[in-house]
Amino acid sequence: MTEAAARTLGTGYETIRLVHHGAKQWSFAEEPPTVVENAALQHYAAEGWDGVAVEGLSIMFLIKLAAFVEIDPHHVMGCTEAIFSRNLINPKTTAAELLSTMVSADRSRIIRNSQIIRPGKQSFFPGLRKTDLVCLFDALGPDRLHQIATIFAKAPYEFRSGWPDLTLWNGNQVAFREIKAPGDKMHFSQKRLLSEILVPLGYDVRLVDVLPE
Protein backbone atom coordinates (compact mmCIF):
# COMPACT_ATOMS: atom_id res chain seq x y z
CA MET A 1 0.00 0.00 0.00
CA THR A 2 2.89 2.36 0.71
CA GLU A 3 4.29 1.97 -2.79
CA ALA A 4 0.88 2.64 -4.31
CA ALA A 5 0.50 5.75 -2.15
CA ALA A 6 3.89 6.98 -3.36
CA ARG A 7 2.79 6.66 -6.98
CA THR A 8 -0.44 8.52 -6.24
CA LEU A 9 1.27 11.32 -4.33
CA GLY A 10 4.21 11.67 -6.70
CA THR A 11 6.86 10.86 -4.10
CA GLY A 12 9.72 8.41 -4.23
CA TYR A 13 9.51 4.98 -2.64
CA GLU A 14 12.11 2.71 -1.11
CA THR A 15 12.58 -0.06 1.41
CA ILE A 16 15.16 -0.32 4.17
CA ARG A 17 16.02 -3.26 6.38
CA LEU A 18 16.30 -2.94 10.15
CA VAL A 19 16.56 -5.48 12.94
CA HIS A 20 13.21 -6.07 14.63
CA HIS A 21 13.30 -6.77 18.37
CA GLY A 22 9.54 -6.94 18.95
CA ALA A 23 7.33 -4.56 20.94
CA LYS A 24 7.89 -1.79 18.36
CA GLN A 25 11.66 -1.85 18.94
CA TRP A 26 14.03 -1.74 15.99
CA SER A 27 17.74 -1.23 15.48
CA PHE A 28 20.16 -0.37 12.72
CA ALA A 29 23.19 -2.64 12.53
CA GLU A 30 24.64 -3.04 16.04
CA GLU A 31 22.94 0.00 17.55
CA PRO A 32 20.74 -0.44 20.65
CA PRO A 33 17.01 -1.05 20.04
CA THR A 34 14.86 2.07 19.71
CA VAL A 35 11.70 3.25 17.98
CA VAL A 36 11.60 2.65 14.25
CA GLU A 37 12.02 6.34 13.32
CA ASN A 38 15.27 6.64 15.27
CA ALA A 39 16.60 3.40 13.83
CA ALA A 40 15.76 4.64 10.34
CA LEU A 41 17.56 7.91 11.07
CA GLN A 42 20.66 5.90 11.96
CA HIS A 43 20.34 4.11 8.61
CA TYR A 44 20.38 7.41 6.74
CA ALA A 45 23.19 8.77 8.89
CA ALA A 46 25.28 5.84 7.67
CA GLU A 47 24.56 7.06 4.12
CA GLY A 48 25.95 10.51 4.94
CA TRP A 49 22.84 12.40 5.99
CA ASP A 50 22.40 14.53 9.09
CA GLY A 51 18.88 14.89 10.39
CA VAL A 52 16.20 14.66 13.03
CA ALA A 53 13.30 12.30 13.71
CA VAL A 54 10.76 14.79 15.09
CA GLU A 55 8.23 15.00 12.23
CA GLY A 56 7.49 18.70 11.51
CA LEU A 57 8.80 20.12 14.77
CA SER A 58 12.09 21.25 13.22
CA ILE A 59 10.35 23.14 10.40
CA MET A 60 7.79 24.68 12.78
CA PHE A 61 10.48 25.95 15.14
CA LEU A 62 12.57 27.25 12.26
CA ILE A 63 9.66 29.19 10.77
CA LYS A 64 9.02 30.79 14.16
CA LEU A 65 12.68 31.69 14.70
CA ALA A 66 12.92 33.28 11.25
CA ALA A 67 9.62 35.19 11.38
CA PHE A 68 10.75 37.71 14.02
CA VAL A 69 13.81 39.93 13.96
CA GLU A 70 13.80 39.34 17.69
CA ILE A 71 11.13 37.26 19.38
CA ASP A 72 9.08 39.23 21.87
CA PRO A 73 8.61 37.51 25.25
CA HIS A 74 4.89 37.38 24.46
CA HIS A 75 5.62 34.86 21.68
CA VAL A 76 8.22 32.74 23.44
CA MET A 77 5.84 29.92 24.32
CA GLY A 78 3.45 30.43 21.43
CA CYS A 79 2.96 27.65 18.89
CA THR A 80 3.88 28.59 15.32
CA GLU A 81 0.43 27.79 13.99
CA ALA A 82 -1.21 30.03 16.61
CA ILE A 83 1.15 32.90 15.81
CA PHE A 84 0.39 32.71 12.10
CA SER A 85 -3.34 32.47 12.83
CA ARG A 86 -3.13 35.78 14.75
CA ASN A 87 -4.25 34.09 17.93
CA LEU A 88 -1.17 35.29 19.78
CA ILE A 89 0.00 38.31 17.83
CA ASN A 90 -1.08 41.93 17.79
CA PRO A 91 -4.17 42.22 15.56
CA LYS A 92 -2.31 44.76 13.45
CA THR A 93 0.36 42.19 12.63
CA THR A 94 -0.47 39.96 9.70
CA ALA A 95 0.88 36.66 8.47
CA ALA A 96 2.07 38.55 5.39
CA GLU A 97 4.24 40.78 7.58
CA LEU A 98 5.73 37.77 9.34
CA LEU A 99 6.48 36.18 5.98
CA SER A 100 8.07 39.41 4.78
CA THR A 101 10.33 39.46 7.83
CA MET A 102 11.44 35.91 7.05
CA VAL A 103 13.00 36.97 3.74
CA SER A 104 15.84 38.71 5.58
CA ALA A 105 16.43 35.88 8.07
CA ASP A 106 20.02 34.83 8.54
CA ARG A 107 22.01 32.46 10.70
CA SER A 108 22.57 35.02 13.46
CA ARG A 109 18.81 35.58 13.81
CA ILE A 110 18.17 31.84 14.19
CA ILE A 111 20.84 31.57 16.87
CA ARG A 112 19.67 34.71 18.70
CA ASN A 113 16.01 33.75 18.75
CA SER A 114 16.77 30.19 19.80
CA GLN A 115 18.44 31.62 22.89
CA ILE A 116 15.37 33.73 23.66
CA ILE A 117 12.99 30.77 23.41
CA ARG A 118 14.94 28.57 25.80
CA PRO A 119 17.75 30.52 27.48
CA GLY A 120 20.50 28.26 28.68
CA LYS A 121 18.85 25.08 27.40
CA GLN A 122 20.55 22.79 24.90
CA SER A 123 17.42 20.94 23.83
CA PHE A 124 14.05 22.24 22.65
CA PHE A 125 12.46 18.82 22.57
CA PRO A 126 13.74 15.26 22.84
CA GLY A 127 15.56 14.58 19.59
CA LEU A 128 15.79 18.25 18.53
CA ARG A 129 18.72 20.47 19.47
CA LYS A 130 19.42 24.12 18.77
CA THR A 131 22.37 23.07 16.64
CA ASP A 132 20.01 20.98 14.49
CA LEU A 133 17.91 24.05 13.75
CA VAL A 134 20.93 26.11 12.77
CA CYS A 135 22.23 23.34 10.50
CA LEU A 136 18.81 22.86 8.90
CA PHE A 137 18.56 26.62 8.28
CA ASP A 138 22.03 26.56 6.68
CA ALA A 139 20.84 23.78 4.38
CA LEU A 140 17.48 25.33 3.48
CA GLY A 141 18.38 28.99 3.37
CA PRO A 142 15.83 31.79 3.85
CA ASP A 143 14.28 31.53 0.39
CA ARG A 144 13.27 27.88 0.60
CA LEU A 145 12.14 28.28 4.21
CA HIS A 146 10.02 31.23 3.09
CA GLN A 147 8.45 29.12 0.33
CA ILE A 148 7.42 26.46 2.86
CA ALA A 149 6.11 29.06 5.30
CA THR A 150 4.08 30.84 2.62
CA ILE A 151 2.04 27.70 1.95
CA PHE A 152 1.93 26.81 5.65
CA ALA A 153 0.50 30.24 6.50
CA LYS A 154 -2.56 29.62 4.30
CA ALA A 155 -3.82 26.93 6.72
CA PRO A 156 -1.46 26.76 9.72
CA TYR A 157 -3.63 24.57 11.92
CA GLU A 158 -4.15 22.05 9.13
CA PHE A 159 -0.48 22.01 8.13
CA ARG A 160 0.90 21.65 11.66
CA SER A 161 0.54 17.87 11.35
CA GLY A 162 1.32 15.33 8.66
CA TRP A 163 5.02 16.11 8.27
CA PRO A 164 7.30 13.19 7.39
CA ASP A 165 9.04 11.41 10.25
CA LEU A 166 12.55 12.35 9.17
CA THR A 167 13.98 15.67 8.03
CA LEU A 168 17.43 15.14 6.51
CA TRP A 169 20.14 17.42 5.18
CA ASN A 170 23.53 17.04 3.49
CA GLY A 171 25.16 20.28 2.39
CA ASN A 172 22.33 22.24 0.78
CA GLN A 173 20.31 19.12 0.04
CA VAL A 174 17.18 18.72 2.18
CA ALA A 175 15.11 15.54 2.07
CA PHE A 176 12.13 14.05 3.84
CA ARG A 177 11.33 10.42 4.65
CA GLU A 178 8.04 9.02 5.91
CA ILE A 179 8.84 5.78 7.72
CA LYS A 180 6.31 2.94 7.70
CA ALA A 181 6.83 -0.15 9.84
CA PRO A 182 4.77 -3.22 8.92
CA GLY A 183 1.09 -2.45 9.41
CA ASP A 184 1.46 1.35 9.36
CA LYS A 185 -0.79 3.31 7.01
CA MET A 186 -0.78 6.76 5.46
CA HIS A 187 -3.08 9.30 7.13
CA PHE A 188 -5.02 12.09 5.44
CA SER A 189 -2.89 14.81 7.08
CA GLN A 190 0.26 13.16 5.72
CA LYS A 191 -1.12 12.91 2.20
CA ARG A 192 -2.26 16.52 2.27
CA LEU A 193 1.04 17.84 3.60
CA LEU A 194 3.05 15.99 0.97
CA SER A 195 0.77 16.82 -1.95
CA GLU A 196 0.29 20.51 -1.07
CA ILE A 197 3.71 21.56 0.27
CA LEU A 198 6.69 19.27 -0.15
CA VAL A 199 6.02 17.63 -3.52
CA PRO A 200 5.02 20.88 -5.31
CA LEU A 201 8.16 22.56 -3.96
CA GLY A 202 10.30 19.81 -5.46
CA TYR A 203 11.79 18.23 -2.35
CA ASP A 204 13.23 14.74 -2.30
CA VAL A 205 10.37 13.02 -0.48
CA ARG A 206 10.16 9.25 -0.13
CA LEU A 207 7.78 6.85 1.54
CA VAL A 208 9.85 4.14 3.18
CA ASP A 209 8.74 0.64 4.05
CA VAL A 210 10.78 -0.92 6.85
CA LEU A 211 11.44 -4.62 6.41
CA PRO A 212 12.82 -6.87 9.17
CA GLU A 213 16.23 -8.36 8.52
Of the chain, the percentage scoring pLDDT greater than 90 comes to: 77
- Asked if 51 contacts 59 with a C-beta cutoff of 8 angstroms, the reply is no
Give the domain ranges of the chain: 2-212
The arithmetic mean of pLDDT across residues 150-174, rounded, is 97
**pLDDT reading at 192 higher than 80:** yes
Angle between helices 57-67 and 95-102 (to 10 degrees): 90
- Asked if 96 contacts 131 with a C-beta cutoff of 8 angstroms, the reply is no
The arithmetic mean of pLDDT across residues 123-140, rounded, is 87
Find all residues with CB under 8 Å of 201, minimum gap 6, and list them: 144, 147, 148, 151
E-only strand ranges, 78-182: 123-125, 128-129, 166-170, 173-180
Q: How far apart are CA 11 and CA 60, in angstroms?
A: 22
Pairing status of strand 204-212 against strand 166-170: unpaired
**Total-model pTM:** 0.93
pLDDT in tens, 57-104: 999 999 999 999 998 777 777 789 988 886 555 556 788 999 999 999
pLDDT in tens, 93-129: 788 999 999 999 999 999 999 888 764 454 567 788 8
pLDDT for the residue numbered 71: 86
pLDDT for the residue numbered 206: 98
pLDDT for the residue numbered 118: 65
Q: Which amino acid would we find at residue 111? A: I
15-41 burial, b for 16+ CB within 10 Å, e for fewer? ebebebeeeeebbbeebebbbbbbbbb
pLDDT for the residue numbered 119: 46
The arithmetic mean of pLDDT across residues 8-23, rounded, is 96
What is the average pLDDT value for the chain, to the nearest integer? 92
